Amino acid sequence: MELARTDYLPDPALDADAMAAMQRDIAADAVFADDHGLAPESLRLDDPIADTDPAQTALGGDGPVVVGVDQAFREDEAVSVAVALRGERVVERAVGRAPLEIPYIPGLLAFREGGAIVDALRSLSVAPDLLVLDGSGRIHYREAGIATHVGVLFDVPTVGVAKNLLCGTPVSDVEERYLDAGERVAVEADDEVETCANGTTIGHFYQSRQYENPTRRHVNPLVVSPGHRVATGTATALVAATCAGYKLPEPTRLADGAVGDVTR
DNA sequence: GCGACAG
DNA sequence: ATCTTGTCGC
């Protein structure tokens, strides 16, 4: 794919203030509204009807392409793998690398891992209808998490899927009760989010999977937020549609496994 | 000064 | 994220 904004390339050499300033610009350019023409049902992987419905036959040829991206690390380099899926079929895989030049700093993740992601995505030949990134999008101090950053860089629809909450406040205490599969709890902006009004919904906790008796053994919910060109509520619906029985959405799960063997 | 903090 | 085997539970 082609970069849309070379001026937003995540340069690790910038100082923290310049990085934050760039994120405010990125957030201003980001679109937290649906601009993708994707219907969540068109991505459904766990729906039996999707395999036999004639309307879904297009998945074999020109159906929507969802790309999962994940990173792994070695001594001093970050490796990123992008796995492109059309339906449940892997249509392409791309690998990217970049030297690790700065430590992990909450809020500045894109400047540590972004280089490898850009390297991988630039070599991807299929045009993704949606990119699923590991980490936050709008759930970020400046509404410019790694999913938003990458989305604006390529001007492609993106969503962020994290395993932990970076900032924001859930409308109901997720820690108090185990969520059932399919449940979602909105996450609102609070004082930690400096670019939008408190109370704005910036993402959701989404329980993709749960055990029958959560008391004895339970699964933690995913933290989903829109990256670019996707509305907050839609982000969770799209992620839910790409989950196929496991905690992580299929694109992410496959990219996760792929980075594994590339790294080992 | 103290607490919070994606991967 | 990463260092790491078995083990408990569904």
Predicted confidence (pLDDT) per residue in A63-112, tens digit: 999 999 999 999 899 999 999 999 989 999 999 999 999 999 999 999 99
Residue A213 covered by a domain? yes
Residue A40 lies in a domain: yes
Asked if A249 and A162 touch (Cβ cutoff 8 Å), the reply is no
CA of residue A158 to C1' of nucleotide C3, angstroms = 32
Question: Is there a domain that residue A1 lies in?
Answer: no
Domain containing residue A255: 6-59+66-263
Instruction: Show Cβ contacts of residue A132 under 8 Å, excluding neighbours closer than 6 positions.
Output: A66, A67, A68, A69, A158, A159, A161, A239, A242, A249, A251, A252
In whole angstroms, what is the distance from residue A128 CA to residue A217 CA?
A: 36
- Nucleotide in closest CA–C1' contact with A165: B6
Cβ(A204)–Cβ(A137) below 8 Å = no
Residues in binding site of A: 70, 134
Distance measured from the CA of protein residue A51 to the C1' of nucleotide B6, in angstroms: 35
Q: Which amino acid is at A113?
A: E
Is residue A216 domain-resident? yes
Query: Which residues surround strand B, with CB < 7 Å?
Result: A 71, 104, 106-110, 134-136, 140, 145-147, 160, 162-167
pLDDT reading at A59 higher than 90: no
Model pLDDT for residues A202-257, shown as the tens digit of each residue: 999 999 998 888 888 888 999 999 999 999 999 999 999 999 989 999 999 999 99
pLDDT bracket for residue A2 (50, 70, 90): very high
The CATH number given to whatever domain includes residue A53 is: 3.30.2170.10
Q: Which nucleotide is nearest to A149 (CA to C1')?
A: B6
**Dihedrals phi, psi of A27, to nearest 5 degrees:** -60, -35
The CA–C1' separation of A13 and B5, in angstroms, is 22
Binding-site positions of A for Mg(2+) read 70, 134
Q: How far is the CA of A243 from the C1' of B1 (A)?
A: 45
Determine the residue type at A52.
T
How many domains are there within chain A?
1
Q: What pLDDT, on the 0 to 100 scale, is given for residue A65?
A: 97
**Residue A79 host element (H or E):** strand A77-86
Both tokens of A212, joined, read: 């029958």
What integer pLDDT is reported at residue A264 of this predicted model?
85
Strand C: list positions under 7 Å from protein Cβ: 1-2, 8-10
Find where tokens 């380099």 sit. A77
Residue A154 lies in a domain: yes
Report if CB A213 to strand C is under 7 Å.
Answer: yes
Q: Which residue type, as a one-letter code, is found at position A250?
A: E
